[in-house]
Amino acid sequence: MKKNFHHKMSYPAAILVFILAVSCGKDGPQADAYGNFEADVVIVSAQSQGILTSLELDEGSVLKKNQLVGHIDSSTITIKKDQLRAQKTVIQARLKNLDAQIKVQEEQRINLVREVNRIEKLLKEEAATPQQYDDIQGKLKVLDTQTEALHSQKNIILAESTVLAAQIDEINNQLNKCRIIGPLEGTVLEKYVEVNELVSPGKALFKIANIEKMELKVFVSGAQLPFIAIGDSVDVLIDNTGASLQALSGQVSWISSQVEFTPKIIQTR
């Protein structure tokens, strides 16, 4: 059973559903029920505190998904990032210096080990004294202790580098929150702020909805309900130019399981 419905188009905040429509009388289409078109609405809010430096949109602007539309002042965060970058440069220089020292120590150890082996052979041949052998062994132990200390310093600096990398990631996240992005493809319904205003996290910036894809909620009487089923095709009549009407095709996708009073904002016959 196909029905005709006459509905005036509006853009409320909630998204609801297609339900019904009716017959044509002698005086033209007469609706058995009325309702409103509704769309998914998203309110985009600030995620950072600062002066709004740009917001390139107006009410009625059509945005693409993930489109960059504005910025919140990020100069303080940028300065902090520059400081962290400078610290990173210093850490890299310290690591490079330590690596050079460790390399020198390793080369010295190779020479000392060779000398220890030589003295040990001479000692066996009674061509060297025990004192000479003890002295060279002592030098080797001191060198190993110094090398171990250098490795410990390197591990400490590497830990500092890890902490610094996490701080840089946090700063990048804060900078990203200074960028205002359109979350979906749609039309700007309302704009709440202007450039140079101070905004804080959670402050609403604009409202957007995809009005190309909307749903319709219609209130019907209990007497009509037995003649409606999910999946039914319906003709919805909306205002066109002048006094004419435009027919849109739709399908019943949901029927409430609860009885409701018809809201005052919905027209009645």
Q: Which domains does the chain have, with CATH numbers?
A: 3-66+181-251 (2.40.50.100), 75-177 (1.10.287)
State residue 265's pLDDT score: 65
Mean pLDDT in consecutive groups of 10 residues from the start of the chain, 269 residues: 46 38 46 80 96 96 96 96 96 96 95 93 88 92 95 96 96 97 95 97 96 85 86 84 81 86 63
Instruction: List the structure tokens of 97.
Output: 């210096």
Q: DSSP code of 261?
A: P
Rounded distance between C-alpha atoms, residue 145 and residue 2, angstroms: 91
State residue 26's pLDDT score: 42
Torsion-angle region of 28 (φ positive above 0: left; ψ -120 to 50: alpha; else: beta): left
Contact 36, 217 (CB under 8 A): yes
Q: Which long-range contacts (CB under 8 A, 24 or more apart) does 93-101 make?
A: 94/157, 95/154, 95/157, 95/158, 95/161, 98/150, 98/153, 98/154, 98/157, 99/154, 101/150
Q: DSSP code of 185?
A: S
Global pTM value = 0.70
Tokens 């429509």 -> residue = 21
Q: Which of 214, 249, 184, 227 has its CA nearest to residue 15?
A: 214
Instruction: Assign 81 to helix, strand or coil.
Output: helix
Rounded distance between C-alpha atoms, residue 140 and residue 216, angstroms: 86
Q: Which residues contact 92 (CB under 8 A, 6 or more apart)?
A: none
Rounded distance between C-alpha atoms, residue 155 and residue 187, angstroms: 54
The pair phi, psi for residue 114, each rounded to 5°, is: -65, -40
